Amino acid sequence: MSKGFASNYRIVLLGAGILACFGCIGIRLLDLHVFERERLMSFVERARRQITVESAKRGDILDDKGDRLATSRSLIVLGVDPQALLKADEPKWPELARLLNMQPAELARIFNTKTRGSVAAPSTAATAESTEASAEEVSASGERLIRWAKLSEAVEESTYDQISKLGIKGVYGNRTYTRAYPHNQLAAHLIGFVNKAGEPAAGVEAFADFYLRGQDGWRESEKDGLRRELAQFRNREVSATAGYTVRLSIDSAIQHIVEQEIDEIVKKFNPKKVTVIVSDPHSGFVLALGNYPTFNLNEYNELSKDEMGQMRNVAITDILDPGSTFKIVAASGALNDGLVRPDTRFNCSIDSIEYKGKPRRFMRDDHEFDHPLTVAEIISHSSNVGAAQLGMQLGEQKLYDYARAFGFGEKSGFPFGGEVSGYLNTVDKWSGVDITRIPAGYSISATPMQIHMAMATIASGGMLMRPQVIRQVTDESGEVVYNFTGSVRRHVISTKTAEQMARMLQGVASKEGTAPMAAIPNFEVAGKTGTAQKLINGRYSERNHVGSFVGFFPASRPRVVITVIVDDGKPANGRVGYGSVVAAPSFKHIAEQLIQYMDIKPVIEPGRNLLVMDGGRR
């Protein structure tokens, strides 16, 4: 074989090797493009595919007159891509720092920090600062390239317009919404709030979240290697839908009157808690509800652990002995069943009586009576002995039934969470003295809302209404989505009985009654005082009381029901915190302002027969 030619064997071996290499490449290509195609394409799609969520604007909460109680502010989360910054834009940096209220040195630090640590060994600091950068790439040296660093998370739209005009390449923002409460603490326990995570907490915000939250939009597109959207490849897009607007029955002006009065009560009596409720007796709609202590809705996250209790709506979450305000139950029941008349008399100077073969001792009265009291006088003078005898006329089961009918021992149906039922034991759990205690408002516990709705039952002509706060839901164009109307829970007493009770309750706000300071000439104030000793360390205290006044006016055509409850008020000179002292004057002060604001007309003929037909005629 000539030395100028390669061996045939070697040529064949080389050719076979080359063919084998191409065969392997072909097999691999076949595997990638045929057998593994679907799996690999899914990886590519996931890498290229981008879904961007567009946040929906949460609906507004309005008061009854259209004033905004809660709204969503449009803010910009501003950031920078340090890799995209241009040297030519550096002279604009100080102006940007001014607009953002940042130190220029701090802004320059963020702009000039273009990498973050090593990929192989990420630093703890880099991990801790991960919230600042949402997009990173890896450089040739193994460091993370920062593609986005946050500058501010709350830039106003007007400020963002000025920033955009600067034209600094690499600085951009994403629109988001944050909840704002223009009136700060006004009606805080009714409105509730939305926390930093965007979750509604309590009040209307939580209850009506279905209507308020709206529907987020989204768009599906592709992104390039730098994670930038390729808008030309958008294939699906759904616009965000704003939430509905919820209009409440709350009137900001009335709410302001109530909260101002609560401030005065706190200044005068330094109580532990205060609740004031104003409602329409015919529909059950709440016009105002205020509590002390309260909080600023815009600063809910600044409350300390010890102050978290200020968020509680004590009108529905806390219970107390109703005291003499409960006497309307025994009196209404006995009248409704025809067992007594308003002029039926009872001996209220005795300290005990035989009942069902056993002597029963009464709770003492604060005053001595030199003559038998009529049922009307038992109410106006707030006699514990008289109330107990009315309860005995009914008997345990009937008294229990009427108490339940008036709403005690069960939730009122208030629309927000946290409401408790109170305590009203069934008759089989009553002690021997409960028949003398419960008619006077002891051995029973209720929420301020239950006490309020019980009195509203008389004002409405005998109907127990469900308390309501939301009046209407409308869409973005103002079209009505849903109207809420008054809801009757049950018929408790007859219209005639309600008429008789309204007449007798007027006697409370008279010179002979326990609350003459609540009277307003020619406006027929009907109401009931209550003073209940507080249970301290298992015993009723002689020094700590819950004072209350619950009433409505005008009695012949009720427009509003007002409840004022002061827990552990401390009048000057060490006096007892009677309802007539700590609550009745505030009832009158609120009522006088409502007369002006609501244009409530006086009763022209104060002496005419009182009519409470279907809750009275407007």
Instruction: Indicate if the pLDDT at residue 290 is higher than 90.
Output: yes
Beta bridge mates, 82:
none
| Whole-number Cα distances in Å, 419 to 180, 181, 413, 425 | 26, 24, 8, 18
Percentage of the chain beyond pLDDT 90 is 61
Q: Mean pLDDT across the stretch 264-293?
A: 97
Of 22-31, 188-197, 223-232, 306-315, the range with the lowest mean pLDDT is 223-232
Q: Mean pLDDT across the stretch 170-189?
A: 89
In a domain? residue 343: yes
pLDDT at 132: 41
Instruction: Indicate if the pLDDT at residue 280 is higher than 50.
Output: yes
Q: Mean pLDDT across the stretch 121-139?
A: 42
Q: Return the structure tokens found at 409.
A: 């021992």
Alpha-carbon distance of 163 to 48, in angstroms, equals: 31
* Residue 524 φ/ψ region, left for φ over 0, alpha for ψ in the -120 to 50 degree band, beta for the rest: left
In a domain? residue 91: no
354-392 per-position pLDDT tens digit: 999 899 999 988 888 889 999 999 999 999 999 999 999
pLDDT at 611: 43
pLDDT at 154: 82
Confidence of residue 34 (pLDDT cuts 50, 70, 90): confident
Of 11-25, 153-167, 603-617, the range with the lowest mean pLDDT is 603-617
Alpha-carbon distance of 327 to 579, in angstroms, equals: 14
Alpha-carbon distance of 451 to 473, in angstroms, equals: 29
Of 3-17, 43-57, 415-429, 587-601, the range with the lowest mean pLDDT is 43-57
In a domain? residue 76: no
Percentage of the chain beyond pLDDT 70 is 87
pLDDT at 259: 98
- Please name the residues in contact with 403: beta carbons below 8 A apart, sequence gap of 6 or more: 326, 329, 409, 424, 438, 444
pLDDT at 227: 54
Q: What does pLDDT average to over the chain?
A: 87
In a domain? residue 472: yes
Confidence of residue 75 (pLDDT cuts 50, 70, 90): confident
Residue 355: how many other CB atoms lie within 10 Å: 17
| Residues 144 and 136: beta-carbon distance below 8 Å | yes
Confidence of residue 313 (pLDDT cuts 50, 70, 90): very high
Domain count, the chain: 1
Instruction: Indicate if the pLDDT at residue 223 is higher than 80.
Output: no
pLDDT at 122: 40
In a domain? residue 29: no
In a domain? residue 147: no
| Residues 528 and 549: beta-carbon distance below 8 Å | yes
pLDDT at 613: 39
Domain of residue 353: give its range.
252-295+313-615
Instruction: Indicate if the pLDDT at residue 16 is higher than 60.
Output: yes
pLDDT at 124: 36
Residue 129: how many other CB atoms lie within 10 Å: 16
Instruction: Indicate if the pLDDT at residue 139 is higher than 60.
Output: no
In a domain? residue 85: no
In a domain? residue 15: no
Q: What is the CATH number of the domain that holds 342?
A: 3.40.710.10
